[in-house]
Structure 1
Amino acid sequence: MSEPTAPAGAYGGETGAAHPGEASARPEPLGVTVAPTGNAEVDAATSRLADADEMPTQSHIEVYEDVHRGLRDALAALDENRS
Structure 2
Amino acid sequence: MTDDEAGAAPDVPQEPVTEPVTGAGAGPAEPAGPAPLGLVRTPTGHPGVDAHLERLADADHLAADGHVEVYEDVHRGLREALTALDAQPVPAPYENRS
TM-score above 0.5: yes
1:37 CA drift (Å): 0.2
Post-superposition Cα deviations, 1:13-49, rounded to whole Å, max 9, x if no partner, equal xxxx927xx632x212211121100011110111100
SS of 2:41's equivalent?
A: coil
Say which one has the larger Rg. 2
1:23 aligns with 2:66: no
Q: Which runs of 5+ in 1 are unaligned?
A: 1-16
TM-score normalised by length of structure 2: 0.58
- Percent of matched pairs sharing the same residue: 53
Question: Where is the helix percentage greater, Structure 1 or Structure 2?
Answer: 1
For the residue of structure 2 that corresponds to 1:72, the secondary structure is helix
Counterpart residue number, 1:34: 41
Query: Match of 1:60, as an amino acid?
Result: H
Coordinate RMSD, CA, aligned: 1.9
Unaligned ranges ≥5, structure 2: 1-26, 91-98
With CA pairs under 8 Å and 6+ residues apart, which has the higher RCO, 1 or 2?
Answer: 1
Q: TM-score scaled by structure 1?
A: 0.68
Residue-pair matches, total? 64
